[in-house]
Amino acid sequence: MHLRIAAVQTTAVVGQVKSNMANISKLVASSIARTPVDILLLPELALTGYNFKSPGAIEPFLEPTAAGTSTEFARSLSKKYNCFTLIGYPEKEKSITYNAAVFTSPAGDVLHHYRKCHLYETDEVWGCSENPGPKFESFKFVADKEYYHGQKDPHEKLPTITASTGICMDLNPYKFEAPFTAFEMARSCLANGVSLILCPMAWLSITAVGGTNRHPNQPETDTVGYWIQRFSPLVESEHPVAVVTCNRVGQEDNLLFAGSSAAFTFEGKRNPTNPVKIAGALPCDQPAVRVFEMEVAETYETQEK
Phi/psi for 94 (5° steps) reads: 60, -115
102, 131, 241, 183: CA torsion to nearest 10: 150
Element (H, E) at 229: helix 221-230
- Provide, rounded to the nearest whole percent, the portion of the chain with pLDDT above 70: 98
Point out which residues pair with 292 in neighbouring strands: 5
**Across 195-216, average pLDDT:** 83
Tens-place pLDDT, residues 172-205: 999 999 999 999 999 999 999 999 999 999 999 9
- The better pLDDT of the pair 207, 278 is held by 278
CA-CA distance, 42 to 175, in Å (whole number)?
Answer: 24
Element (H, E) at 300: strand 299-301
CA-CA distance, 195 to 135, in Å (whole number)?
Answer: 17
Burial 265-288 (b: 16+ CB within 10 A, else e): bbbbeeeeeebbeebebbbbbebb
Q: What is the pTM of this model?
A: 0.96
Active site residues: 44, 116, 168
Per-residue pLDDT at 218 exceeds 70:
yes
The DSSP output letter for 57 is: H
Tens-place pLDDT, residues 222-242: 999 999 999 999 999 999 999
pLDDT at 209: 54
**C-alpha angle with apex 128: 124 to 132, nearest 5 degrees?**
120
pLDDT range class, residue 208, cuts 50, 70, 90: low
Least confident of 28-37, 143-152, 186-195: 28-37
Per-residue pLDDT at 61 exceeds 70:
yes
Q: Which domain holds residue 78?
A: 2-302
The full DSSP string for 111-134 is: EEEEE-SS--HHHHHTTB----SS
Residues 6+ apart with CB under 8 A from 285: 214, 216, 217, 249, 259
CA-CA distance, 103 to 118, in Å (whole number)?
Answer: 20
pLDDT at 273: 84
Point out which residues pair with 263 in neighbouring strands: 244, 280
Phi/psi for 234 (5° steps) reads: -70, -10
Average pLDDT, the chain: 95
pLDDT at 109: 97
Number of domains in the chain: 1
Domain harbouring 16, CATH code:
3.60.110.10
Phi/psi for 196 (5° steps) reads: -145, 130
Per-residue pLDDT at 154 exceeds 90:
no
pLDDT at 135: 93
CA-CA distance, 241 to 194, in Å (whole number)?
Answer: 7
